[in-house]
Amino acid sequence: MEYSRLIYCNAGQKIKISSIDGGIGAVENIKSLGIQLGDEIVLKSKVNGHGRIIIEHNGKEIALGYELASKILPECSEPPIITLDKVREGDVVEVTKMAAKGDVRFRLLDMGVVKGVKLTVIRKAPLGDPIEVLINGFNLSLRLEEARNIEVKLVELSKNNGRRKRWGMF
């Protein structure tokens, strides 16, 4: 079995919760909703990218915020295919498809964004645009529009217990 994040799963999927990647606060928030490790839930819907996530647990619908949902790690039979703009900071992914067109495609290919290359999402700007990734030993900043055209599969989850790297120098 592979592990993923709840935010990477598709609507309608039945999911078994295997772990929580967060601190005591996140664990307590999830427990207060009546959700335990090993429970099976159904992902009902996701609102475009960073909105609320609606799950069904024991016959009732529960709305989760994007950040809390990203800390729930379900078991998956195969890693989901997602776009680079949806990847959480610290996660390592592998490029599976490049859908960019024209000059942008050629620039990305020249910088090494090709099928099979591994990327690590370093950080995202406060408003989400741009995204900084580590590729072949150098940092590359991508606009959200460019990141939406790069399909990736999850290789490794970051286990940072909810701590995020901040944009800027401190």
Of 78, 102, 42, give the one whose Cα is nearest residue 153: 78
Q: What is the pLDDT along the chain (170 residues), one digit of tens a residue?
A: 566 888 888 777 788 888 888 788 888 888 888 888 888 888 887 766 567 888 888 888 888 888 888 888 887 666 677 888 888 888 899 999 888 888 888 888 888 888 999 999 898 888 778 899 999 888 999 998 888 889 998 888 776 544 554 444 43
**137, HSE (Cβ side, Cα atoms, 13 Å):** 0
Q: Taking the C-alpha atoms of 36, 38, 42 and 47 in order, what is their torsion angle to the nearest 10 degrees?
A: 60
Domains of the chain, residue spans:
2-76, 81-156
pTM above 0.75, yes or no: no
Do the Cβ atoms of 157 and 91 come closer than 8 Å? yes
CATH superfamily of 81-156: Ferrous iron transport protein A (FeoA) (2.30.30.90)
- Domain topology for 2-76: SH3 type barrels. (2.30.30)
Q: Do domains 2-76 and 81-156 have the same CATH topology?
A: yes
